[in-house]
Amino acid sequence: MKFSVSSSELLKQLQVANGSIGSNPVLPILEDFLFTISDNKLTITASDLDTTITTTMDVMSDSDGTVAIPAKILLDTLKALPQQPITFTINENNFGVEITSAYGKYRLAGENGQDFPAIPQADEVDSIVLPASSLIQGVNKTLFATSNDELRLAMMGVYFQVDFNKLTMVATDAHKLVRYTFTNLGSEVSTSFIVPKKALNLLKNALDSKDEVKMSFNKANAFFEFGNTQMACRLIDSRYPDYNAVIPVDNPNTLTLSRADFASSMRRIAIYANKTTNQVILNITPGNLTISAQDLDFSNEATEKLACTYDGDGLTIGYNAKFVLEMLNVLESDEVKLELSTPTRASILLPVEDVPGEDILMLVMPVMLSN
């Protein structure tokens, strides 16, 4: 089998697929890209068994066939080549690969493509179509809140709830929580599933905001198709915690202030907070917000006053500054609203101005102050 392709075009596709190659694959062949040629179409597949990325491109080929090619050496070769047509010649007996460039020849050992593990296929599944830009937004606004705790598998992913014309994405690590909803969805299904964070990270980087994404899912897998690329990922098979139960319904105290001012103040004050807890203290009275932190180990201390509108009882509450900053950073509105109840109950963070077609709610658990 022999085929020719533009080195830079191929590199572009390989770099998309490469994201799903794991660092310590269970099977040696998973360190390879699977090349399958059929009818002058090259399909490239890379997988860590949990996440699989497939992408296709046109090539000039003399026959159909398949081969697995070691990913790292191939990528390194292409990165070091100026853009030019290159030719791959595959020895179908021993799967040796020979690449010919304008400069010379490079040989590497491939493997039998038939040995590559089977890739899950989207069979008889529900599907919805949405703009990639919406999905990118949703991922960017939720991913940071996922957990790294292997004992809470469900929280290591983002919970997707499809409800006909509405998609809700939820992420939490038990300290903070984001619920992001967008409407105007063309869907005829109602279902829910948990997509692992690794897959979403890859997806976010592979998506082009101009694309449309077809999202389909069955019991075990989710599939994302966009442009010439498809990503399949194994869903997290676990029950998602009942997040609605922890969203407070009666937080009577509301603090409204500039998002940018709040964030930059938090950033400065956090420098003076204890590095392990990032604990900052908000002292709130009507019209007056004081943010402070101290680190007794180093005698560091900082206090700032901020303009705000506050409707409620005087309150002193502690937060991990890192959490609050992460949350403020994904919001876009000029002003934000913090709805509070007591210093040991969850606080709600909301944008003051809504973005049409989307709805976002964030929760953060406070730090219980020691005195």
Partner 1 sequence: MRKIIHIDMDAFFASVEQRDNPELRGRPVAVGGGGIRGVVASASYEARKYGVRSAMPGATAKRLCPDLIFVKSHFDVYKTVSQQIRDIFHDYTDLVEPLSLDEAYLDVTENKKNLNSATLIAQEIRQRIEVETGLTASAGISFNKFLAKIASDVNKPNGMKVILPEEALDFLEKLPIEKFHGIGQVTARRMHELSIFTGADLKKRSEHELQQIFGKAGRHYYRIVRAEDEREVNPHRIRKSIGSERTFNEDLHDPAEMKARLSDLAGQVHEYAARNNNFGRTVTIKLKTPDFRQFTRSRTFPQDVTQLEQIIQVVHELLDQNIAEIGAVRLLGVTISGLRLDRQSGIGVQLEFEF
Binding site for partner 1 (CB under 8 A): 23, 149-151, 153, 172, 174-175, 177, 241-243, 245-246, 274, 276-277, 279, 294, 296-297, 318, 320, 344, 346, 363, 365-371
| Sign of the torsion angle spanned by Cα atoms 64, 55, 57, 125 | positive
**Contact between residue 292 and residue 302 where contact means Cβ atoms under 8 Å apart:** yes
Give dist(CA 195, CA 190) in Å, integer.
16
Q: How far is the CB of 303 from partner 1 (least distance, A)?
A: 14
Q: Which is nearer to partner 1, 227 or 343 (CB)?
A: 343
Q: Which is nearer to partner 1, 172 or 230 (CB)?
A: 172
CA atoms within 13 Å, Cβ hemisphere of 269: 28
Q: How far is the CB of 24 from partner 1 (least distance, A)?
A: 8
Q: Which is nearer to partner 1, 180 or 223 (CB)?
A: 180
Q: How far is the CB of 370 from partner 1 (least distance, A)?
A: 4
| Sign of the torsion angle spanned by Cα atoms 125, 129, 133, 139 | negative
Give dist(CA 358, CA 193) in Å, integer.
20
Strand partners, 130: 213
Give dist(CA 20, CA 166) in Å, integer.
29
Residue type, 245: A
User: 130: closest CA among 157, 159, 164?
Assistant: 164
**Contact between residue 327 and residue 336 where contact means Cβ atoms under 8 Å apart:** no
Q: Which is nearer to partner 1, 36 or 347 (CB)?
A: 347
Q: List the structure tokens of 141.
A: 């606004």
Q: Which is nearer to partner 1, 146 or 279 (CB)?
A: 279
> 3-state class of 357 per DSSP?
coil
**Contact between residue 13 and residue 75 where contact means Cβ atoms under 8 Å apart:** no
Q: How far is the CB of 242 from partner 1 (least distance, A)?
A: 7
Q: Which is nearer to partner 1, 116 or 159 (CB)?
A: 159
Give ∠ CA 147-149-150 in degrees, rounded to 5. 125
Q: How far apart are the first and last CA of the chain?
A: 74
Q: Which is nearer to partner 1, 93 or 299 (CB)?
A: 299
Q: How far is the CB of 207 from partner 1 (least distance, A)?
A: 30
Q: How far is the CB of 347 from partner 1 (least distance, A)?
A: 11
User: Is 360 exposed, middle or buried, given 0-12, 13-18 or 19+ CB atoms closer than 10 A?
Assistant: buried
Q: How far is the CB of 338 from partner 1 (least distance, A)?
A: 16
Q: How far is the CB of 281 from partner 1 (least distance, A)?
A: 9
Q: How far is the CB of 331 from partner 1 (least distance, A)?
A: 20
Buried b (16+ CB within 10 A) or exposed e, 207-220: beeebebebbbbee
Q: Which is nearer to partner 1, 232 or 293 (CB)?
A: 293
Give dist(CA 351, CA 346) in Å, integer.
17
Q: How far is the CB of 237 from partner 1 (least distance, A)?
A: 13
Q: Which is nearer to partner 1, 93 or 148 (CB)?
A: 148
**Contact between residue 351 and residue 258 where contact means Cβ atoms under 8 Å apart:** no
Give dist(CA 52, CA 16) in Å, integer.
11
